[in-house]
Structure 1
Amino acid sequence: MKFPESWLREHVEVDADTARLCSTLTAIGLEVEGSETVGGELPGVVVGEIIACEKHPEADRLKLCKVSVGGGEPLQIVCGAPNARLGLKAPLASVGAELPGGLKIKPAKLRGVESFGMLCSAKELDIDADASGLMELPADAPVGEALSKYLGLPDTSIEIKLTPNRADCFSVRGIAYDVAAALGSSVKPLLIEPQPTKIELMLPIELAAGADCPRYAGRLIRDVDASTPTPVWMAERLRRCGIRPISLLVDVTQYVMLEIGQPMHAFDADTLRGPVGVRKARDGETLKLLDEREVKLDEGFLLITDADRPVALAGVMGGWDTRVTESTRNVFLEAAHFAPEAIIGRARKLGMHTDASHRFERGVDPGLPRQAIEFATRLIIQIAGGKAGPLKIAERAQDLPQPQPVTLRRARLARVLGMQVDDAVVDALLRALGMEVESTSEGWRVTAPSRRFDIAIEEDLIEEVARIHGYDRIPMSSPTGAVPPGRHPEDRVPVAQLRQATAARDYAEAVNFAFVDAALLQRWGLPAEVVLANPLASDMGVMRPSLLPGLVEAVHRNRDRQQDRVRLFEIGRVFARGADAPVETERLAAVALGAARAEQWAADDRAVDFYDAKGDLEAISALSATTDLRFEPGQRAFLHPGRSAEVFRGDVHLGCVGHLHPRLLKALDLAQEVVVFELDVGPLAQRAVPQAAVLSRFPSVRRDLAMVVPEGTTWGALESVIRRTLGPQLKRVWVFDQYVGPGLEAGFKSLAMGLILQDDSRTLAEQDVEQMVQGAVSALETHCAARLRG
Structure 2
Amino acid sequence: MRVPLSWLAEYVELVPGTTPEDVHAALVKVGLEEEDVHTFELEGPIVVGEVLEFVEEPQSNGKTIRWCQVRVAPEGEMAADGGEAVHGIVCGARNFFPGDKVVVTLPGAVLPGPFPIAARKTYGHVSDGMIASARELGLGDDHDGILRLSTLGIDAPVGTDAIALLGLDDAAVEINVTPDRGYAFSIRGVAREYAHATGAKFRDPVEQVMATDATADGFSVVIDDAAPIRGKAGSAVFATRIVRGVDPSRPTPAWMIARLKLAGIRSISLLVDITNYVMLELGQPIHGYDLDALRGGIRVRRATPGEKLTTLDGKERTLHVEDLVVTDDRGPIGLGGVMGGAETEMGDATRNVLIEAANWDPVSIARTARRHKLPSEAAKRYERGVDPEIPPAAVSRVAQLMVDLAGGTADDGGSLIHEAPARDAIELPHGFVSNLIGVEYTEDEVHDALAEIGGVVTPTGDGFAVVPPSWRPDLTGKAELAEEVARLVGYHRIPSVLPVAPPGRGLTRSQRLRRQAADVLAGAGSTEVLSFPFATADENALFGSADGAAVASVRLANPIDATAPFLRRSLIPGLMAAARRNLSRGLTDLDLFELGTVFLPETGRTYGSAELPAGDARPDDEVLAALDAGIPAQPRHLAVLILGEVVSKQPGQAAVPAGIADALDAVRRVALATGAEIEIVQGSHAALHPGRTAELRVAGQVVGHAGELLPAIAEEADLPRVVAVVELDLDAVIALTEPGVEARSIGTLPAATQDLSLIVAADVPAAAVAAAVREGAGELLEHLSLVDDYRGPGVTEGSKSLTFALRFRASDRTLTAAEASEAKLAGAALAAERAGASIRE
1:25 to 24, 27, 36: 27
Q: 1:226 to 1:457 in 2, by over 3 A?
A: same
Q: Is the 8 A contact 1:436 1:447 kept in 2?
A: yes
Matches within 5 A, 1:479-494: none
- Deviation string 1:118-162 (CA, Å, 9 cap, x unpaired) is 323455556667655434432324133212321334322222222
1:620 counterpart residue number: none
Measure, in 2, the Cα distance between the counterparts of 1:286 and 1:329: 27
Partner secondary structure for residue 446 of structure 2: helix
Please name the residue that 1:600 is paired with: 779
- 1:404 pairs with 424, 449, 455, which one? 424
SS at match of 1:402: coil
Partner deviation per Cα, 1:590-621 (whole Å, 9 max, x = no partner): xxxxxxxx96359xxxxxxxxxxxxxxxxxxx
Q: Return the match for 1:151 from 166, 179, 187.
A: 166
- Report the 3-state secondary structure (helix = DSSP H, G, I; strand = E; otherwise coil) of the residue aligned with 1:214: strand
What are the equivalent positions in structure 2 for 1:572-721 lying under 5 Å apart?
600-601=779-780
Q: Which stretch shifts more, 452-461 or 72-81? A: 72-81
Q: Which residue of structure 1 aligns with residue 156 of structure 2?
A: 142
Relative distance call for 1:458 and 1:331 in structure 2 (3 A) is same
Once the two structures are TM-superposed, the CA of residue 189 in structure 1 deviates from its matched residue by 3.5
Q: Kindly tell me: are residues 342 and 116 of structure 1, through their superposed partners in 2, closer, same or farther at Cα, counting changes over 3 Å?
A: same
Aligned length in residues: 521
Structure 1 segments of 4 or more deviating over 6 A? 100-104, 195-201, 483-487, 537-540
Structure 1 residue 389 corresponds to structure 2 residue 411: yes
Q: 2-side partners of 1:198 and 1:261: how far apart? A: 22
In structure 1, how many angstroms separate the alpha carbons of the residues matched to 2:154 and 2:624?
74
Shift of 1:252: 0.8
Q: Residues 472-502 of structure 1, C-alpha deviation per residue, up to 9 Å, x if partnerless?
A: 331112579xx99999xxxxxxxx9xxxxxx
Task: Return closer, same or farther for 1:126/1:274 CA change in 2, 3 Å cut-off.
Answer: closer
Deviation (angstroms), 1:201: 8.0
1:209 aligns with 2:209: no
One of 438, 442, 452 as aligned partner of 2:472: 452
Choose the corresponding residue for 2:37, options 28, 35, 38. Answer: 35
Report the secondary structure of 2:383's partner residue.
helix
- Contact (CA 8 Å) 1:404, 1:456: kept in 2 or not? no
- Following the alignment from structure 2 to structure 1, what is the Cα–Cα distance between the partners of residues 100 and 436? 63
Secondary structure of 1:64's counterpart equals strand
Change (3 A) 1:17 1:468: farther
Please list the CA deviations of residues 100-134 of structure 1 after superposition, one character each: whole Å capped at 9, or x if unmatched: 76766555554444544332345555666765543
- Selected match of 1:64 from 55, 62, 67: 67
**Distance (Å, rounded) in 2 between the aligned partners of 1:192 and 1:378:** 11
Contact 1:38 1:157 in 2 (8 A): no
Specify the alignment match of 1:336 in structure 2.
358
Task: Quote the offset at 1:466 in angstroms.
Answer: 2.0
1:367 paired with 2:389, answer: yes
The match for 1:533 is 626
Structure 2 residue runs without a partner (length 5+)? 77-84, 227-232, 510-601, 603-621, 634-677, 679-696, 704-732, 741-776, 782-841
Residues 539-593 of structure 1, C-alpha deviations (whole Å, 9 max, x = no match): 99xxxxxxxxxxxxx9x96244799xx99579xxxxxxxxxxxxxxxxxxxxxxx
- The answer to whether the 8 Å contact 2:70/2:89 transfers is no
- Give the residue type in structure 2 aligned to 1:365: D
Distance 1:329 1:343, change over 3 A: same
Q: Please give the alpha-carbon distance, in whole angstroms, between the structure 2 residues aligned to 1:291 and 1:391.
A: 32
Residues 568/215 of structure 1: CA separation in 2 closer, same or farther (3 Å cut): same
Matched, 1:325 2:347: yes
TM-superposition CA deviations, 1:399-453 (whole Å, max 9, x none)? x142222233442211222212344443333333222223445543322211100
Counterpart Cα distance in 2 of 1:126 and 1:290? 26
Alignment correspondent of 2:485: 465
Q: Using a 3 Å threshold, how does the CA distance of structure 1 residues 21 and 425 change in structure 2: closer, same or farther?
A: farther
Cα gap change, 1:157 to 1:133, in 2 (>3 Å): farther
Matched, 1:434 2:575: no
CA contact (8 A) 1:206 1:394 kept: no
Alpha-carbon distance, 1:281 to partner? 0.9
Contact 2:90 2:125 (C-alpha < 8 Å) held by counterparts: no
Match status 1:11 vs 2:31: no
CA distance in 2 between partners of 1:257 and 1:174 (Å)? 12
Cα drift, residue 310 of structure 1:
1.3
Q: Give the distance between the partners of 1:92 and 1:281, measured in 2 at CA.
A: 54
Please, what TM-score do these two structures have when normalized by structure 1?
0.59
TM-score for the superposition, normalised by structure 2: 0.56
Q: How far does residue 169 in structure 1 lie from its aligned partner after superposition?
A: 1.0
Residue 87 of structure 2 aligns with which residue?
76
**CA 1:442 to 1:130, structure 2 compared with 1: closer, same or farther past 3 Å?**
farther
2:56 aligns with 55
Q: Please state whether the residue corresponding to 1:533 is helix, strand or coil.
A: helix
Query: Residue 325 of structure 2 contacts residue 336 of structure 2 at CA under 8 Å; is this kept in 1?
Result: yes
For residues 712-754 of structure 1, what are the alpha-carbon distances to aligned partners after superposition, in whole Å with 9 as ceiling and x for unaligned?
A: xxxxxxxxxxxxxxxxxxxxxxxxxxxxxxxxxxxxxxxxxxx
Residue 246 of structure 1 deviates from its aligned partner by: 0.6
Q: CA deviation at 1:355?
A: 0.9
Contact 2:48 2:156 (8 Å CA) reproduced: yes
Question: Does the CA-based 8 Å contact 1:62-1:78 persist in structure 2?
Answer: no
Structure 1 equivalent of residue 129 of structure 2: 117
CA distance in structure 1 between the partners assigned to 2:67 and 2:198 by the alignment = 53
Task: Write the deviation string for residues 281-313 of structure 1: whole angstroms up to 9, x where unpaired.
Answer: 111111111111111113111111112521111
Q: Relative to structure 2, which stretch is displaced further, 97-106 or 18-27?
A: 97-106
CA–CA separation in structure 1 for the residues paired with 2:12 and 2:252: 26
Q: CA 1:126 to 1:369, structure 2 compared with 1: closer, same or farther past 3 Å?
A: closer
The structural deviation recorded for 1:319 is 0.8
Contact residue 14 and residue 180 of structure 1 kept, 8 A: no
Report the Cα offset of residue 267 of structure 1. 0.9
**What corresponds to 1:611 in structure 2?**
none
Kindly, what percent of the aligned residue pairs are identical? 35
Matched to 1:301, the amino acid is D
Q: Is the 8 A contact 1:213 1:338 kept in 2?
A: yes
Deviations 1:143-188 (A, max 9, x none): 3321232133432222222211111111111111111101112311
Kept in 2: contact 1:39–1:127 (CA 8 A):
no
Secondary structure, in 3 states, of the residue corresponding to 2:333? strand
CA spacing shift, 1:291–1:484, aligned 2, 3 Å: closer
CA shift, 1:346, in A, is 0.6
Q: Is the 8 A contact 1:292 1:320 kept in 2?
A: yes
For the 8 Å contact 2:216–2:415, the answer to whether it is kept is: no
Kept after mapping to 2: 8 A contact 1:39/1:155 = no
Deviation (angstroms), 1:13: 1.3
- Structure 2 letter corresponding to 1:63: R
Partner of 1:420: 440
Structure-2 separation of matches of 1:277 and 1:198 = 17
